[in-house]
Amino acid sequence: MRTQVGIIGSGPAGLLLSQLLDLQGIESVVLERRSQAYVLSRVRAGVLEEGTVAMLRQAQAGERMDREGLVHEGLDIAIGDRRHRIDLKKHTGKTLMFYGQTELTKDLMDAREALNAQIVYEAKNVSIEDLDSKTPKLRYEKNDKKYEVVCDFIAGCDGFHGISRRSIPETVLKTHEQVYPFSWLGILSETRPVSDEVIYVNNWHGFALCSMRSMTRSRYYIQCAFDEDLEKWTDDRFWDALRTRLPRDAAELLEVGPSIEKSIAPLRSFVAEPIQHGRLFLAGDAAHIVPPTGAKGLNLAASDVHYLSNALVTFYMDKDMGLLESYSHKCLKRVWQAERFSWWLTSILHRFPDQSSFNRSIQVAELDHLMESDTAQAAFAENYVGLPF
């Protein structure tokens, strides 16, 4: 098989890239090691920056998002029973869209199906060959048969544990990582959100986050131990722990109910550089991971796709390699800004093991400054709504 761009991974990054290229007349083949049903079963965050929203519209996959998504103009920061709203729109002129990643992935799948996309699900033993040549190859197996896809370029959108990053020689690749000493325990429930906007909570008992997928479906998180056992967390235990961390006014409004999904996610910061080698380009979690505190993971994947799709279109239209050659530099500049913001927000909102009274007081001072300073809130808002591509 011959194609222009081979894409590994059918998450949002891979699907969005494939769709944008197709709309510009550029062929692609997407290889996914999991089934379509499995990809759709993954529950992930759903806070979309305006740049990501614009890209989904450009990809002709934003109709349902515009109809069902929730537009937010601000958020709340709480410490103890003190709660302060940060007006994102006032400070930046921008808003955020709340729309579940599962729904976004389904919309992209439907858009690809409408254009008769070439997506191979359950592709086994995918490998990248001849990476340093002008015609790198993807090899895979399906139904006990072996296949080869000859490409002009390969996009590695296969996540942190995928093969793409590992295909870059160790002598070339440098990685940076910080693992945080706690995790997030999250549940999804068919309950009315406790607030019209997100609430970030710093509490003596630990961090909490109140979010939503719709006005009848809530997403809640609490900080837990790094090695927490999910089996020990009944729904009742979770609701009790969440209630003790919320400001009193929010706790009184908390509506509880059976969880429809419950999971534990460890937190880490990770960056690989460079994120291109030969004709291989990494995008999304294959290239970088951010703690979810800053709501940057999906949006960074979208910004990678923005740079990569523009670079590929420029190459095929103008035979110009310039944007492809600068892809890693442009992406990583934005990535490190998001990493910094997500690290900072994680650092001031969570309880750390063996936290000293000094460090706890520094957290309180940081939050006091954020609540009281219009300048601090403007800087926060600029980062939270997303820096421009």
Catalytic center residues = 72, 200, 292, 296, 384
As given in the structure block, the two tokens for residue 266 are 């460890």
CATH classification (class only), 180-267+354-384:
alpha beta
Distance CA(198)–CA(262), nearest Å, equals: 19
Partnered with residue 154 across adjacent β-strands are: 6, 280
Architecture of domain 5-71+97-177+269-345: 3-Layer(bba) Sandwich (3.50)
Element (H, E) at 212: strand 208-214
CB 307 within 8 A of CB 323: yes
Helix (H, G, I), strand (E, B) or coil at 222: strand
CB 4 within 8 A of CB 153: yes
pLDDT at 46: 84
Within 8 A by CB and 6+ apart from 100, the residues are: 43, 44, 46, 213
pLDDT at 113: 97
Q: Which residue ranges make up each domain of the chain?
A: 5-71+97-177+269-345, 180-267+354-384
Domains 5-71+97-177+269-345 and 180-267+354-384 share a fold: no
Which residues of the chain fall short of a pLDDT of 50? none
Alpha helices in the chain (DSSP H): 12-23, 36-41, 50-58, 63-68, 88-92, 101-114, 235-245, 248-251, 297-318, 322-325, 327-349, 357-372, 374-384
For the chain, give the number of residues: 389
pLDDT, tens digit (0-9, with 9 covering 90-100), for 228-271: 999 999 999 999 999 999 999 999 999 999 999 999 999 999 99
| Residue labelled with tokens 């310039």 | 322
What's the pTM? 0.96
Sign of CA dihedral 46, 49, 51, 57: positive
pLDDT at 241: 98
Taking the alpha carbons at both ends of the chain, their separation in whole angstroms is 34
- C-alpha separations of 79 from 98, 293, 363 in Å: 24, 16, 10
